[in-house]
Amino acid sequence: MSAVSIEKDQPCVVSKEEYQVMIKPHGSDKLNPLYVIDDAKRAALLKEAESLPSIVVSSAAAANAVMMGAGYFNPLTGYMNKADSLSVADKMVTTKGLFWPVPIVNVVKDAAAIQGKKRIALRDPNVDGNPILAIMDVEAIETFSDDEMKMMTQKIFRTEDPEHPGVAAFSSVGKTCLSGPIQVLSYSYFQSEFPETYRTAYEIREDMTKMGWNKVVAFQTRNPMHRAHEELCRMAYEQLKADGILVHMLLGKLKKGDIPADVRDACIRIMVEKYFAPNSVLITGYGFDMLYAGPREAVLHAVFRQNTGCTHLIVGRDHAGVGDYYGPFDAQTIFHEEVPKGALDIEIFEADHTAWSKKLNRVVMMRDVPDHTKDDFVLLSGTKVRAMLSAGESLPEEFSRPEVAKVLMGYYQSLDEKPEIKLHGHATGA
């Protein structure tokens, strides 16, 4: 058994006619990817960019550019200005009424190098030599006040704790906001380092169109997939009578201790190859840095999964969370309490904590077995999993497929230093 394998051709935008059998992108009838696909035009822009004043952007701003270039952040045409950023943070809507869950910004500490310039080059902080990432038409250079930064931080992350990894990243890049439309000229390191996995939103739509998929459920992950994750995907697929599953992994920066993307990719590929029906799963990845913003990030995940053509997104326990900053199901309740009706076309598949039942000899959602106690489930802490794998001990097959455990064991045993990590046992793996 194997995952779907589709030849990756030269990117091209799916026609409007093909979209008529798929869910529409967010905010428009067709995708508006900002990557300059035409080779000659892109070469001319890269040549122009070398003569433009330039600035090395933050990793977060670079990831925002990659996501806009790939069509994931449709229908945005560039970085948000101060007014839109504050409005989105406060009310999840731009000043013109577009629903959007988090500000998409290019914030810097010092804009002196491009002050007064109307057209600038943005350089990639994550690639040696800081090559050109995009060209930006600067419409405004504005500064957030301390109070405005606090408001945005609190609204996005529900905390101002500097120990929160998302808060730490958000507060470290500066307060000067550069806004305006961009033309994206590179997908940064994602396409070169993950050629078999990185896909744009329009490439995913193309793949789904070729396969005749209309109802598709997306699974977000920043972790390897254990038995609970595998079965959750299968539950959603079967209950929704879906045409396929999009396993969509984050390929950008994570907090210290999270498992590297190449290891996660290997784990997921071998699991899908051996345990899912042929042509039922697309294994893909996207170029973005994790925000750890819990509920707000879950909504962002829904927005850009709609842009890939997915009709449903699995949202489980502590989706996109970290530590104890969010309630276990805050990422589900936000869709009921804060997302306006009709703001999104994609639907949420709400999942509970999922684990192996010793009584039933299968993976279940805990809410479906009220007669169970904690001792009736196979539950392993992240610390225990890491210790077992580092020592070369096999994980219980009820917790992890042996092929997945073998990949993880090789990773842990290859580390010279073994930093503390958390392998999430909850259902989303998000």
- 223 is known as an active-site residue: yes
Answer whether 306's CB lies under 8 Å from 23's CB.
yes
Edge-to-edge strand list for the sheet holding 312-315? 281-286, 244-250, 216-221, 312-315, 347-350
Instruction: Give me the catalytic one of 222, 227, 296, 305.
Output: 222
Instruction: Give me the catalytic one of 223, 305, 386, 401.
Output: 223
Answer whether 105's CB lies under 8 Å from 96's CB.
no
Both tokens of 374, joined, read 């904690």
Per-residue CA distances from 206 to 15, 31, 188, 214, 304 (Å): 9, 12, 22, 12, 15
C-alpha–C-alpha distance, residues 395 and 385, integer Å = 7
Q: Which amino acid is at 297?
A: E
Q: Three-class SS of residue 33?
A: coil
Q: Three-class SS of residue 180?
A: strand
Q: Three-class SS of residue 300?
A: helix
Cis peptide before 224 (omega within 30 of 0): no
Compute the chain's Rg from CA coordinates. 21
Answer whether 337's CB lies under 8 Å from 296's CB.
no
Long-range Cβ pairs for the range 265-270 (8 Å, 24+): 265/194, 265/196, 265/197, 266/407, 267/224, 267/225, 267/404, 267/407, 267/408, 268/221, 268/224, 268/225, 269/3, 270/401, 270/403, 270/404, 270/407
Q: List the beta bridge partners of residue 348.
A: 313
Q: Which residues contact 120 (CB under 8 A, 6 or more apart)?
A: 52, 53, 54, 55, 114, 135, 136, 138
Q: Three-class SS of residue 134?
A: strand
Q: Three-class SS of residue 373?
A: coil
Which contiguous run of DSSP H or E holds residue 166? helix 165-172
- Exposure class string for 268-278: b at 16+ Cβ within 10 A, else e: bbbbbeebbee
Residue 38 Cα to chain centre, angstroms: 26
Q: Which residues carry out catalysis? A: 222-223
